[in-house]
Structure 1
Amino acid sequence: MRQIMLDTETTGLDWRNGDRVIEIGCVELLNRSLTGRHFHVYINPGRSIDAEAVAVHGITEEFLADKPRFAEIVDDFEAFVRDAELVIHNASFDVGFLDNELQLLGRGRLDTLCAGVIDTLRMAKEQNPGKKASLDALCDRYEIDNGHRELHGALLDAELLAEVYLAMTRGQESLMIGLDDEPLPGAADDGAAPRERASIVVVRADAAELGAHEAMLADIAKANKGLCLWLPPAQEPPAPG
């Protein structure tokens, strides 16, 4: 499995207001191991940078004056992330900005380029409801050293995210290792031909059971003023002609 930890820095908070990407940082994991390969670039956005954004990442317009435009680096970026699964903290933010940059050039969105996106912010909130879920908070929770992180930086944050993601999913890794260690059902361990697997028996509900199920859903809907997750919404009557 090839995964890319990705982070961006931007001129502001909303690409819909014309904000642009000014830094991209990516690190590569292959089968949950860092490969040492990374993609990192600063980008001249061709516009001003909000003072609040500079206070967060420290990247100034003067620093970016001689840096390439997104159009000059897009081929290399697409080649690095193509067909990989992206792992992003607060994915909707970065994906929104990158999709905007790609579409400004008439190119396909990330979901046509990559195998999928994992949002570690959402994952952290699901694993620990009510607790802080920022990247710094997760570094503290999983005892990952981020003392050198005085300002946000795309490559540094992608590297920290890799450590956080591996820590958050370590139980899944143990499960997979356990599965790999166990012989598959029906597999021969003595050189003999594999045993046939038993066929799966599917037992379908009969008419009486289906009727009882419908009645139960109707009771749930009645108790919830017509709302029931497992029933389609009631149709509005047609307006008088």
Structure 2
Amino acid sequence: MSTGTWTTSPLLGFDTETTGVDPLGDRIVSAALVHRTPGVETSVRTWLIDPGVEIPDGAAAIHRISTEQARTYGQPPREALEEIASVLHEALAEGVPVVAFNAGFDLVLLDAELARHGLRTLPERLGRPVPAVVDPLVLDRALVPLRRGGRTLGALCSAYGVLDPEDLEAAGLHAADVDVVATLDLLAAMTAAYPQLAVMDLTTLHAYQVDQHRAWTAELERWRALEGQTGPAAEPRRRA
């Protein structure tokens, strides 16, 4: 894609709902992929998956999928994961960027799930690291480092005028397909507010996000050390 065209070209939004917040150990319960040619959902595809383990009550309270529902109506995980990875691989191979809120969590979790079930990870399918990921969470941290009010998906949708605060619950955030559409809408609002994002080509934008995330992680670790906290800092999971 040439410089400045990515905001008016196809995007692929991605989200998962899970059994917990450990991207290496937890399982995918539902997922959604939304192909958008800016402003219009050209296709929405969702999966309900039987993760093969109990869904903790805390996780079920967030995404409203119980163990019984997943076992009764969910696809076998290996089948569903192959379908999800195939759609993502096809888009990425064609140069379509993947848009996800807190993308590192979802993509690491997906690759861990694929490996767990003897399937090829996204980098293995592509023959290289995953390119062209756009993450509104990382971008907002870089653009508004001192933001008040939190950086959950719901909070940022409110901050950028995508959803009014009173509409957040009614919007049904934490259903994977609703979260994807909200994330794509959020990204559109952010690129309107910060046009410098739109004029970057995807390679430059991806590298910018990598650098900004590393800087944020280093600052977080510095703060934790000053506070006497030990061990790796957990990447915060999004909350509405």
Give the whole-Å Cα distance in 2 for the aligned partners of 1:108 and 1:172: 37
The superposition leaves residues 169-210 of structure 1 with CA deviations (integer Å, 9 ceiling, x where unpaired) of 12439965xxxxxxxxxxxxxxxxxxxxxxxxxxxxxxxxxx
1:128 pairs with 2:144: yes
The corresponding residue for 1:172 is: 195
The corresponding residue for 2:31 is: 24
Q: Which runs of 5+ in 1 are unaligned?
A: 177-241
1:108 corresponds to which letter in structure 2? R
The corresponding residue for 1:56 is: 62
Q: 1:174 to 1:14 in 2, by over 3 A?
A: closer
User: What secondary structure does 1:96 align onto?
Assistant: helix
2:65 corresponds to which letter in structure 1? I
Q: Is the 8 A contact 1:56 1:151 kept in 2?
A: no
Q: Is the 8 A contact 1:58 1:151 kept in 2?
A: no
1:160 pairs with 2:185: no
2:45 corresponds to which letter in structure 1? F
User: What secondary structure does 2:69 align onto?
Assistant: helix
User: What secondary structure does 1:102 align onto?
Assistant: helix
User: What secondary structure does 1:22 align onto?
Assistant: strand
Give the whole-Å Cα distance in 2 for the aligned partners of 1:108 and 1:168: 34
**TM-score w.r.t. length of structure 1:** 0.65
Q: Which runs of 5+ in 2 are unaligned?
A: 1-8, 200-240
By percentage of residues, which structure has more helix? Answer: 2
The corresponding residue for 2:43 is: 37
Give the whole-Å Cα distance in 2 for the aligned partners of 1:57 and 1:175: 32
In the TM superposition, residue 150 of structure 1 has moved relative to its aligned partner by 4.6
The superposition leaves residues 107-165 of structure 1 with CA deviations (integer Å, 9 ceiling, x where unpaired) of 33234445431221110111111213211111111212343235511110001111001
The superposition leaves residues 18-65 of structure 1 with CA deviations (integer Å, 9 ceiling, x where unpaired) of 3200000121123x3434211211100010112221121111001111
2:84 corresponds to which letter in structure 1? F
Structure number with the bigger relative contact order (C-alpha 8 A, sep ≥ 6) is 2
Give the whole-Å Cα distance in 1 for the aligned partners of 2:86 and 2:112: 18
1:47 pairs with 2:59: no
Give the whole-Å Cα distance in 1 for the aligned partners of 2:116 and 2:197: 43
The corresponding residue for 1:203 is: none
Q: Is the 8 A contact 1:39 1:80 kept in 2?
A: no
Q: Is the 8 A contact 2:10 2:36 kept in 1?
A: yes
Q: 1:127 to 1:96 in 2, by over 3 A?
A: same
Q: Is the 8 A contact 2:81 2:113 kept in 1?
A: no
**TM-score w.r.t. length of structure 2:** 0.65
Give the whole-Å Cα distance in 1 for the aligned partners of 2:50 and 2:102: 23
Provide the aligned C-alpha RMSD in A: 2.2
1:128 corresponds to which letter in structure 2? V
The superposition leaves residues 71-94 of structure 1 with CA deviations (integer Å, 9 ceiling, x where unpaired) of 112343233222231111111111
Give the whole-Å Cα distance in 2 for the aligned partners of 1:152 and 1:116: 24
Q: 1:72 to 1:125 in 2, by over 3 A?
A: same
Flag the structure with larger Rg: 1
The corresponding residue for 1:188 is: none
The corresponding residue for 1:72 is: 79
Among 112, 115, 118, the residue aligned to 1:100: 112
Question: Identity of paired residues, percent?
Answer: 28
Among 142, 152, 157, the residue aligned to 2:160: 142
User: What secondary structure does 1:29 align onto?
Assistant: strand
The corresponding residue for 2:133 is: 117
Q: Choose 97-106 or 112-121, whichever is displaced more.
A: 112-121
Among 89, 99, 123, the residue aligned to 1:87: 99
User: What secondary structure does 1:169 align onto?
Assistant: helix
